[in-house]
């Protein structure tokens, strides 16, 4: 059984709980992370969740989303998880974290404080999908993904939309290469382009950035 880190609203650990229990409809606030992996041209790698997933099966996500283990921080847990899902390794930078709570039908929910990481993949040809985690991948530009999100918000994971929304709030203590990518993606209209899709997933606006 896999146990997740339970946290309070300040992201301080208050215990652990079995993974499925954390994702029941009421949910339990736990620590998670999401990774945005880019290529050298500034395209974002999207991944399609396996149909075997309990929540949001078959939907499109950022590159990787998972949970830290005990003794891991956001960066170390994300760098550990990348090869487990995509068969590649990459140096990551931490950008920010946000809290959100969203149900999935009558099956379960996500109730997380989610750290967001950025990385650049030098050689995309080395990607190897891991069975039962990711069913497909594709690279997109900012214009492509914003157009798709506007037309079909229902096929995208809600936490990915929140993570994209907060890109302008990113920590600036990161590599120059990652700063360059963020400059490409931090368009003035980024937040306004995402607001309608966020309302689709979060009619009660249960998401916020966590100040540090």
Please report, in tens digits, the pLDDT of each residue of the chain (212 residues total).
899 999 999 999 999 999 999 999 989 999 999 999 999 999 999 999 999 999 999 999 999 999 999 999 999 999 999 999 999 999 999 999 999 999 999 999 999 999 999 999 999 999 998 878 899 999 999 999 999 999 999 999 999 999 999 999 999 999 999 999 999 999 999 999 999 999 999 999 999 999 88
CA–CA separation, 4 and 1 (whole Å): 10
Encoding tokens for residue 195? 């607001």
In this structure, are residues 111 and 25 in contact, taking their beta carbons and an 8 Å threshold? Answer: no
Question: Any bridge partners for residue 48, and if so which?
Answer: 60, 136
CA–CA separation, 2 and 16 (whole Å): 10
What's the CA dihedral at 111, 116, 159, 22 to 10 degrees?
Answer: -20
CA–CA separation, 193 and 110 (whole Å): 23
């Amino acid at each position: 059984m896999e146990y997740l880190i339970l946290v309070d609203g300040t992201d301080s650990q208050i215990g652990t709980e079995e993974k499925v229990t954390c994702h029941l409809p009421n949910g339990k606030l736990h620590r998670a992370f999401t990774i945005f992996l880019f290529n050298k041209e500034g395209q974002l790698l999207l991944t399609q969740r396996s149909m075997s997933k309990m929540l949001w099966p078959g939907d499109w996500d950022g590159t990787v989303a998972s949970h830290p283990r005990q003794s891991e921080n956001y960066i170390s847990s994300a760098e550990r998880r990348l090869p487990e899902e995509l068969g590649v390794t990459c140096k990551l930078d931490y950008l920010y974290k946000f809290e959100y709570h969203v149900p999935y039908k009558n099956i379960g929910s996500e109730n997380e404080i989610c750290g967001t990481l950025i990385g650049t993949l030098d050689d995309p040809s080395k990607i190897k999908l891991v069975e039962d985690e990711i069913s497909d991948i594709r690279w997109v530009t900012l214009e492509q993904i914003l157009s798709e999100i506007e037309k079909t918000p229902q096929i995208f994971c809600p936490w990915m939309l929140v993570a994209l929304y907060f890109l302008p709030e990113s920590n600036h203590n990161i590599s120059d290469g990652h700063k360059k990518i963020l400059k490409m993606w931090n368009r003035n209209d980024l937040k306004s382009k995402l607001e309608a899709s966020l309302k689709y997933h979060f009619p009660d606006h249960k998401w916020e950035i966590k100040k540090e």
